[in-house]
């Protein structure tokens, strides 16, 4: 079931909404799309944080990163 929501829009948000509407979206479509896109971006950031935490906890991966960094540093020193 759809639910109506009321919000106050400042100048920046009104300009952004006009830009979205100019792309052919209705006002409702633009607002719904923006909310869904923002939620998806948050989920991606959370997934990335979890992946980084897993990599940081992986001692073998950390050792490999140190080895690669040392190799890159030695190559830079030679050049």
User: Which of helix, strand or coil describes residue 59?
Assistant: helix
Cα separation of 56 and 16, whole Å?
38
Q: What is the pLDDT of residue 74?
A: 93
Q: Are 17 and 9 in contact (CB under 8 A)?
A: yes
Domain limits, the chain = 11-78
Number of H helices, E strands in the chain: 3, 0
User: What confidence tens digit (pLDDT) does each residue in 29-75 have?
Assistant: 999 999 999 999 999 999 999 999 998 899 999 999 999 999 999 99
Q: Show the tokens assigned to 3.
A: 């639910």
Give the per-residue pLDDT at 79: 67
> Can you give the pLDDT at residue 2?
86
Task: Read off the pTM.
Answer: 0.67
Confidence of residue 77 (pLDDT cuts 50, 70, 90): confident
């Amino acid at each position: 079931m759809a639910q109506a929501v009321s919000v106050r829009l400042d100048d920046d948000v009104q300009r952004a909404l006009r830009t979205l509407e100019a792309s052919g979206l209705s006002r409702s479509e633009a607002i719904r799309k923006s909310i869904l896109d923002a939620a998806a971006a948050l989920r991606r950031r959370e997934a990335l944080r979890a992946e980084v935490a897993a990599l940081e906890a992986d001692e073998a991966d950390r050792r490999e990163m140190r080895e690669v960094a040392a190799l890159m540093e030695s190559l830079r020193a030679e050049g």
